[in-house]
Amino acid sequence: MPDKPAMPDKPAMPDKPEAARLDAFRAGVLARGRELYRDLPWRRDFDPYGIWVSEVMLQQTQVARVEGRWQRWMALFPTVDALAAASPADVLAEWQGMGYNRRAIALLKAAQVVSSAGGELPCDDVALRALPGIGPATAAGIRAFAFDLPSVYLETNVRSVFLHELFPDAEDVPDSALVPLVEATCPSDAHDPADDPRTWYYALLDYGAFLKRAVGNPSRRSRGHATQSRFEGSRRQKRAEVVRILLAAPDAGRGMGEGEVLAALNEREGQAGRPPVDVETVTGILEELAREGLCSRENGLWRV
């Protein structure tokens, strides 16, 4: 079967006038959004901090895994100031099971910056993106959901809707073709509760989640789509295991030597039916984690 033609950077103009086509698209998405709306706990929250936490948790993590964990996090660290005052060990311990421990440490570091500046999360895109761990999509999500401000929020579910509806037969679609459409369709009037940025992006997210189940993830036709590598047996898995070992150390305040970490890791690897790792691998992992702020070394001992 021949491959479909690649999507050019500048797609051909549709037969319908662009404004009419996008108006019809917006009306259809809003209608589907009302039908498919998911009443998620962070959507009942208008606190910018709580919404920020949800956006970070939802990065590369399924909604089902975030439900429950978000509520527990907010109970333990209810404000920016509370999170800023927490220890890295407490933050990492609470994050376990969410994946990508770097996100938790970046959230802690950003909370410390915000807390030292008065405790108010900024709504400006540039100021948001200056904080650790906040990239374009996270900043746009915070602006839309916490402040109801127009933004270009392009994540996988949003991308799926635009590809399914506006580029149904195209492959290798670049984000440069999508961004102007995302910007053009986002409402600018936050005073219309039926059609404001917050409502609009919830509709896109819920319709996009539905499409993934119904038609098989249209975002795979995006040029930037990447399949996540296998976790079990990977270096990422061993990094996560080392963090758990340091957190679970009987005397975490004292720290652990590299030999102790190696022995504990190989015990867990053996229980999982995986081959042992060598000391060079463990040393490299510990040094990587230290550079990322996930652990530290003092007097030859490693601790979170």
Using CA atoms, how far residue 130 sits from 79, 118, 133, 138, 182, in Å, is 20, 16, 9, 12, 23
Long-range contacts made by residues 63-69, C-beta under 8 angstroms, separation at least 24? 63/38, 63/209, 65/97, 65/98, 66/98, 67/40, 67/41, 69/97, 69/98
Would you name the residues annotated as active-site residues?
A: 55
Range list of H helices, the chain: 18-36, 48-57, 63-66, 69-76, 80-84, 88-95, 101-116, 125-129, 136-147, 156-166, 175-185, 197-215, 235-248, 258-271, 279-291
